[in-house]
A and B are shown apart, each in its own frame.
Chain A
Amino acid sequence: MDARPLSPPAGPTPSGAPRNDPPATAGGARSLHRFANPGRFLRLTDALMPWLWAAAILVTGIGAAWALFLSPADWQQGETVRIMHVHVPMAWLAMGGYTGLGILSIMSLIWRHPLADLTARELSPVGAAVTALCLATGSLWGKPMWGTWWVWDARLTSVLVLFFLWLGHAALVRAFDDMERGARAGAILALVGLVNVPIVKFSVDWWNTLHQPASVTRIDAPGMHVDLLYPLLVNALGFSLLFGAVVLARTRSAVMERRVRALQTARARRAEAA
């Protein structure tokens, strides 16, 4: 099943799975499967990658300099507030990335989109890493400000659950010999875990927690002075670009790995036949 539509057209596909071949009948399905073509994906991203890496490094560089040297301290937290410029983007990426995993899982379950399976597989270890960074920086920030490394309030606990969901997805998709079955199981887990995303987001509003409510996405106006807000937004953009670049690079190498394996299988088969 490794060599699903990702294999080059040469040779008969092993363990024929006709339902997976995308003949693309309906309009919506056709447009989706256009991007499912791994050859096109590699060509498109090949042109994109250098620009994405350059933009990611440039914006995170500007963000780091701004956050460390140019932005002011907070009136009561002092210099500790600078942890925010890593902590908050990591939290946003943990939640936004998981929402992306949910979308990929829907594409995988409904349209059997092979590139969505691969992207989901390569996304979850990166998602687990940013969630771990969010938890670690939050803990380092909590000790000097709140007076504790950790409490079991609704926000912190739901983010810990999010971390376990990322880890669980990464492990589950790799736990099957049959990659497609692993992808299916992972997609179901990811979608079940999607209920946790609104819980993380609104935990600070629904229940009282030690963690404070949102500053940036308040209804009236951000509860943060622009001198602290702008570098935060630059860092959020920079880390998002970096996140995207890492995930795309991982997906690209996974596609190429799959191609190499398919070619090797085809060659072995030819040698056997000869």
Chain B
Amino acid sequence: MIRIAGLTRRQWAALALVLGLAVAFLLPMVVTDYRSFQFTLVIIYAIALMGLNLLTGYNGQISIGHGAFYAIGAYTAAIMMDRWEIAYYWTLPAAGVVCLVSGFLFGLPALRLEGLYLALATFALAVATPQILKYFDSWTGGVQGIVLFKPDPPFGLPLSQDQWLYYFSLAIALVMFWAAWNLIHSRIGRAIVAIRDHPIAAQTMGINAPLYKSMTFGVSALYTGVAGALGAIVVQFVAPDSFSVFLSISFLVGAVVGGLASFTGAIYGGLFVVFIPNISEEISQAAPWAIYGAFLLVFMYVMPSGIAGFLRRIGAWIARRNAS
């Protein structure tokens, strides 16, 4: 057993987890409401990226259309809250179920499509999303969108609205990450990964690949949909312009830059999605996208397997040095 400073790798991971949780829990106490709101967005994007990660990272199916599921989740929440005056927390399971079903249904025909074709089909979905939202305007409020109210903390907790939403989102994220962890480390999870690594071998070993792939698509959409519902609650507004194709693209960017097939990768990805555009515009308001693009290239050169993969390699390197 390799030890670094007397601790095994597993112990280091546990320590990092505890420290990470402590930071996450204390954060809203020490920062402004605005920052709490910003980190709430990080958490929400991390959930969405976890969903994409299940599909792309663990199952090997590329999607450039997860913004569509994020939109479905957001609109499910918005319509329930605005039209039927249902409490915000009930909208999350509903958004999850709606997205699970739509993801599964989209996954069925998509099964026939491999790699590039699937990527393009999902891309088409992302492009069509704003149009479809505008078309069903009696439900979605059309181009004007739906404005929502911000929930107050329950039980008279001494928290601001932003702090409460942060903790609420954090709790949801913890539950969903825990569930994903159990899924990936179960029999089903091993089958999902086997389909990615050895598709034909997995088939011959009796894994029902089409079913698993569609199910993964559905679960992946569920995660992204719940994130979308949370996003609608936190931002208090949904409109077709919130779900343009660039949302889907920034999800893919976040998932890859953060690190595929990694739980921490989703968190790094969430940080990237929220903060890198802000840093880019601080550098240049003449061409912020050019700076953003440069960031992407640098990240890919330095960390081709994402931030999580990079940190893992550094950890392994330290371990090797210690061993020798």
Asked if A and B are interacting partners, one says no
Interface residues, chain B, with chain A CB atoms under 8 Å away: none
